[in-house]
Structure 1
Amino acid sequence: MKALVCHTITDDFSGTEIRDVPMPKPGPGQVLVRVKAASVNFPDLLLTQGKYQLKLEPPFTPGMDFSGIIDTLGEGVTGPLREGTDVAGGVRSGAFAEFIVVPVSSLQKKPPAMSFAEAASYSAAYLTAYVALVRRGNLQPGETLLVHGASGGVGLAAVDVGKLLGATVIATGASDDKLDKVIAHGADYAINVTQGFR
């Protein structure tokens, strides 16, 4: 199978390349998932630079969040997640590959309304936004939320979560194209930081 392999820690992602690697096999309590989509998050880049809190020795395959279809069950796997089930999950690394072996406990069924790309990308961004706005910020209905860099993954998630919590959302960005997407995503107001209010 093919995987993106970080063979050398570098500052510019040049230490990675797509390689043929052995097909993994699930052990007890694990499943083999055919990866349909994997999201790229900032920690993935930091891992390849050796700057993330988790330090991996090359060679390794980055990729934390993914979605796909269960291909093979390991010994002792029971429950609703069976071969052919569409799933989403998160791991410390390894998702930038055609297949990945993960503990069945790290998976959940992919919501039918989500595409594989959406299912692979919501976990890290939305959990970050939720923790920031709900657990730390205690955002309340009727309050105003300012989201800087609102066109990125966490920024768009913050816009969504803010609107769901009943806040007025002001979004910032550096281009009108990006802000058009943020407004379409639900922001009440947008500020182009190079021009002013829209």
Structure 2
Amino acid sequence: MKAVLVTALSPDLSGVELAEVERPRGEVVVRMRAASLNYPDLLMTRGDYQFKPEPPFIAGLEMAGEVVEAAPGSGFAVGDRVRGGAKTGAFAEYVALPASALRHMPEGMDFPAAAAMGAAYHTAYVALVEIGGLQPGQTVLVHGASGGWVLPPATSRARWAAGSSRQRTARTSSKCCAQSPDPTLPFSTPGGSAKTLPG
């Protein structure tokens, strides 16, 4: 199978290659359909993340896909749509994980959104709601809203806190998630259109 293999730590990705590797074996084997790219993925290729795998290793924190093999008692069956990850290994055609590292995908969610639920969505939720104390009636301004946490699950299902709203900025509206219902403000200079936020 093909995988993104880190053969050596480097500051410029020169130690990263698309390689042919053996298909993994494990408690649950998933056919990867989408994987999210997160900043820690880049840091691990340099050896700059707190978790420091020794090369060679397959890069990728998290992914989503379909179960192709599952051990009895794992809680998963062939064909299940799942999301999850284990710090490395997600950037491959097949990923082997312990059942504890996987979750069933919510009904109606697509693979790209599910792949990004872990790091991007949960980090933003914890920062805004649990640590930041986002309250109903408050508005959050998201700069650079082309990243993973503008996903539909974050905007339409969770809504961060009941009654809160969001405005977002991006250099171009095409960079924002087309499925998000949140308005996008043009961003050309700091203090530009963001000053005219309603509320």
Tell me the TM-score normalized by structure 1. 0.84
The secondary structure found in structure 1 opposite 2:57 is: coil
Runs of 4 or more above 6 Å deviation: none
Tell me the distance in 1 between the aligned counterparts of 2:75 and 2:154.
Answer: 33
Q: Report the counterpart of residue 4 of structure 2 in structure 1.
A: 4
Q: Is the 8 Å Cα contact of residues 129 and 161 (structure 2) preserved in structure 1?
A: no
What is the RMSD of the two structures over their aligned residues, measured on CA atoms? 2.4
Q: Report the residue type matching 1:9 in the other structure.
A: L
Q: Report the counterpart of residue 133 of structure 1 in structure 2.
A: 128
Q: Is the 8 Å Cα contact of residues 146 and 177 (structure 2) preserved in structure 1?
A: yes
- Using the TM superposition, give the Cα deviation of residue 79 of structure 1 relative to its aligned residue in structure 2, in angstroms: 5.4
| Correspondent of 1:104 among 89, 99, 119 | 99
% same residue = 41
Structure 2 matches for 1:27-66, cutoff 5 A? 30-66=27-63
CA distance 1:183–1:24, change in 2 (3 Å): closer
The secondary structure found in structure 2 opposite 1:169 is: strand
Tell me the distance in 2 between the aligned counterparts of 1:137 and 1:7.
Answer: 40
Matched positions, count: 190
Structure 2 matches for 1:151-190, cutoff 5 A? 151-154=146-149, 156=150, 160=155, 165-178=162-175, 181=176, 185-188=180-183, 190=185
CA distance 1:13–1:165, change in 2 (3 Å): farther
- Using the TM superposition, give the Cα deviation of residue 176 of structure 1 relative to its aligned residue in structure 2, in angstroms: 4.4
Tell me the TM-score normalized by structure 2. 0.84
Tell me the distance in 2 between the aligned counterparts of 1:15 and 1:182.
Answer: 32
Structure 2 matches for 1:72-151, cutoff 5 A? 72-74=69-71, 77-78=72-73, 80-151=75-146
Q: Is the 8 Å Cα contact of residues 135 and 161 (structure 2) preserved in structure 1?
A: no
The secondary structure found in structure 1 opposite 2:109 is: coil
Query: Which of 99-108 and 116-125 deviates more?
Result: 116-125
Tell me the distance in 1 between the aligned counterparts of 2:93 and 2:138.
Answer: 44
**Where do 5+ consecutive residues of structure 2 fail to align?**
195-199
CA distance 1:85–1:168, change in 2 (3 Å): closer
Deviation per residue, 1:41-94 (Å, 9 max, x gap): 1111111011111111111111111111111223xx315411221211121100
The secondary structure found in structure 1 opposite 2:163 is: coil
- Using the TM superposition, give the Cα deviation of residue 182 of structure 1 relative to its aligned residue in structure 2, in angstroms: 5.9
